[in-house]
């Protein structure tokens, strides 16, 4: 299947899993409330850490490994069962540890923690990495989409007030588990069952652990910041930050989609010695992702002060400030995602990747400790911004000798400039019209038009320049 089709499939799914929760967000903000949402986000964050440990680095490692052997069914079958056996064993061990943790150390909200155990069980059945490595994105998208839609419908049907927090947790955790189960009936199409030895399973442990380090490091400024916010500040502040983070994650779903699609393709090209074609993919991805991310970052920052109170309610107005602070991370993550998923991981330059995210994690923790006591969720947002910027800068500096970074910057730097111009237009409209849904509509139309016109003019000028520089035929 072509890269374009895979990108569209995965982009659709990634956007769907971000947008569907947003459909329920205004409803939940008014029923469960900030306290309830904060409790759910807090317990989910802790359960998510156990899931990360159970999965190790299998999402990237398994994806890459499957892509490299997918043309040989015998090797494919062995590789799949070896990696999955390691994942299953780790999941069982971590599940036991989680139950012990809840029973011994959790005093408040134990029911919600126990319901999150269902989410933890999903780690034992998660084989998305296998289908991603095969570039079979259609299967994952179609099956998981049905489950996600049913999950949202269930939220509206069964969650009516703050006493229904346990129902919301049960619905969300069960939905994730059913999504993982839905993929297993298709495994036999691609692999045969193979008995694997302990020795062969352990071969995958070290490289999995290497790619597990960045997973944990990234989680520090994706998950631990909410835990720190809950411990140092208040649960309500966690609810504010979590809602803002959900909004930021919607445009980032496009970035995730591109990286997920390109990792197996690049890994496969490298295994076949087709590096030049891979470099062309990287160049085109940089230009495409900077065009998208600049529009999304500055557009979102521009409409945030009006969007947050309209979407979440007046009591969540602070989310507008949080969204505006974190919006530039869309550009930072987009750039770094191309470097990481299309160059570092496929070429097994895991050390650079690991160090970059460790650096980001350290910076995030330091900023959080300094700012959360005084600024609450705003301090957490600033910490996330600093962390993502440091990751992008480090990865870019470290690959500057292997990739033509200067050319990438030269041809893509105009997009953030156009984004800034769009931002000022959007903010002028917002300041003039005030907080209203029609304000947001006008902002989106005007801002989108300005950005697209500027980009079209820029691309036309480049094409015209190239045409003039081409030698004329006699």
Q: How far separated are the first and last CA of the chain, in Å rounded?
A: 42
How many structural domains are present in the chain?
2
Residue carrying structure tokens 């029609």:
438
DSSP helix/strand/coil, 127: coil
Q: Is 49 exposed, middle or buried (0-12, 13-18, 19+ CB in 10 A)?
A: middle
Q: What secondary structure letter does DSSP report for 473? A: P
Residue 409 CA to its chain's centroid (Å): 24
Is residue 246 situated within a structural domain?
Answer: yes
pTM, to two decimals: 0.73
| CB-based contact 189:139 (threshold 8 Å) | no
- Give CA angle at 41 (47, 113), nearest 5°: 45
For residue 299, give the nearest of 458, 460, 457, 449 by alpha carbon: 449
Distance, CA of 339 to CA of 353 (rounded, Å): 9
Is residue 210 situated within a structural domain?
Answer: no
Cα–Cα distances in Å, from 311 out to 21, 263, 305, 436? 13, 35, 11, 10
65, 151: one domain: yes
The tens-digit pLDDT sequence of the chain (474 residues) is: 566 676 676 677 777 766 776 678 778 878 887 778 778 888 888 898 899 889 888 888 888 888 888 878 888 999 999 999 999 999 999 999 999 999 988 877 788 899 999 999 998 999 988 988 887 877 777 787 888 888 889 989 888 888 888 899 999 899 889 888 888 988 888 888 888 888 888 888 888 888 787 777 777 667 677 778 878 887 788 878 888 888 888 788 777 777 667 767 777 776 666 777 777 888 888 888 899 899 999 999 999 999 988 888 788 888 899 999 999 999 999 999 888 888 888 887 878 888 998 898 889 889 999 999 989 889 999 999 999 999 999 999 998 888 888 888 888 889 999 999 999 999 999 999 988 989 999 999 999 999 999 999 988 887 777 666 655 554
| CB-based contact 145:13 (threshold 8 Å) | yes
Is residue 232 situated within a structural domain?
Answer: no
Distance, CA of 29 to CA of 279 (rounded, Å): 46
159, 252: one domain: no
177, 270: one domain: no
322, 374: one domain: yes
161, 248: one domain: no
198, 278: one domain: no
Is residue 172 situated within a structural domain?
Answer: yes
193, 257: one domain: no
For residue 337, give the nearest of 395, 418, 398, 399 by alpha carbon: 395
**Model pLDDT, residue 1:** 52
Is residue 27 situated within a structural domain?
Answer: yes
For residue 224, give the nearest of 210, 241, 236 by alpha carbon: 241
Is residue 135 situated within a structural domain?
Answer: yes
Q: Is 101 exposed, middle or buried (0-12, 13-18, 19+ CB in 10 A)?
A: middle
**Model pLDDT, residue 396:** 93
| CB-based contact 58:204 (threshold 8 Å) | no
116, 53: one domain: yes
**Model pLDDT, residue 85:** 92
Which residue, 145, 173, 203, sits at the end of a domain? 203
Is residue 214 situated within a structural domain?
Answer: no
171, 277: one domain: no
256, 187: one domain: no
Task: List the domain range (segments joined by +) for residue 28.
Answer: 1-203
Record the tokens describing residue 58, joined without a space: 């299998």
Q: Cβ–Cβ contacts within 10 Å for residue 462, how many? A: 12
Is residue 450 situated within a structural domain?
Answer: yes
For residue 335, give the nearest of 395, 270, 400 by alpha carbon: 395
Distance, CA of 229 to CA of 244 (rounded, Å): 14
Which residue, 184, 203, 222, sits at the end of a domain? 203
Helical ranges in 56-109 per DSSP H: 58-69, 73-105
| CB-based contact 257:11 (threshold 8 Å) | yes
Which residue, 203, 233, 261, sits at the end of a domain? 203
**Model pLDDT, residue 330:** 93
Sign of CA dihedral 91, 97, 99, 102: negative
369, 429: one domain: yes
Buried-exposed string 145-178: b where 16+ CB fall within 10 A, e elsewhere: bebbeebbebbeeebeeeebbebbbbbbbbbbbb
Distance, CA of 104 to CA of 96 (rounded, Å): 12
């Amino acid at each position: 299947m072509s890269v374009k089709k895979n990108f569209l499939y995965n982009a659709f799914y990634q956007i769907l899993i971000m947008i569907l929760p947003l459909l329920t967000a205004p409803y939940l903000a008014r029923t469960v409330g900030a306290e309830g949402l904060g409790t759910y986000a807090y317990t989910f964050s802790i359960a998510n850490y156990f899931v990360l440990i159970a999965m190790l680095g299998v999402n990237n490692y398994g994806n890459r490994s499957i892509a490299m052997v997918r043309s040989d069914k015998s090797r494919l079958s062995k590789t799949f069962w070896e990696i999955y056996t390691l994942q299953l064993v780790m999941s069982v061990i971590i599940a036991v540890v989680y139950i012990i943790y809840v029973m011994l150390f959790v005093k408040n909200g134990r029911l919600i923690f126990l319901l999150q155990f269902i989410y933890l069980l999903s780690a034992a059945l998660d084989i998305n990495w296998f289908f991603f490595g095969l570039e079979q994105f259609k299967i994952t998208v179609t099956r998981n989409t049905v489950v996600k839609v049913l999950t949202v419908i269930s939220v509206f049907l069964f969650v009516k007030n703050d006493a229904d927090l346990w129902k919301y947790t049960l619905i969300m955790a069960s939905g994730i588990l059913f999504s993982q189960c839905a993929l297993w009936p298709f495994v036999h199409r691609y692999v045969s069952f193979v008995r694997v030895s302990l020795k062969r399973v352990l071969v995958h442990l070290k490289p999995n652990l290497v790619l597990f380090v960045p997973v944990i490091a990234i989680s520090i400024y994706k998950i631990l910041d909410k835990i720190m916010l809950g411990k140092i500040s208040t649960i309500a502040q966690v609810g504010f930050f979590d809602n803002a983070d959900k909004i930021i994650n919607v445009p980032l779903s496009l970035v995730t989609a591109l990286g997920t699609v390109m990792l197996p393709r690049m890994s496969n090209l490298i295994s076949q010695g087709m590096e030049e074609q891979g470099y062309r993919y990287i160049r085109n991805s940089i230009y495409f992702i900077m065009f998208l991310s600049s529009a999304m970052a500055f557009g979102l920052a521009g409409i945030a002060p009006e969007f947050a109170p309209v979407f979440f309610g007046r009591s969540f107005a602070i989310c507008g400030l949080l969204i505006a602070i974190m919006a530039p991370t869309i550009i930072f993550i987009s750039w770094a995602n191309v470097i990481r998923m299309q160059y570092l991981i496929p070429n097994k330059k895991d050390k650079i990747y690991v160090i970059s995210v460790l650096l980001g994690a350290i910076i995030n923790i330091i900023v959080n400790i300094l700012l959360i006591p005084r600024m609450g969720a705003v301090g957490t947002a600033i910490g996330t911004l600093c962390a993502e910027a440091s990751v992008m800068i480090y990865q870019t500096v470290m690959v500057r000798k292997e990739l033509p970074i200067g050319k990438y910057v030269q041809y893509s730097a105009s997009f953030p400039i156009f984004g800034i111009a769009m931002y000022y237009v959007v903010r002028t409209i917002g300041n003039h019209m005030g907080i209203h849904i029609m304000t947001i509509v006008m902002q989106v139309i005007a801002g989108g038009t300005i950005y697209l016109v500027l980009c079209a003019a820029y691309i036309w000028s480049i094409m015209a320049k190239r045409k003039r520089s081409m030698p004329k035929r006699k």
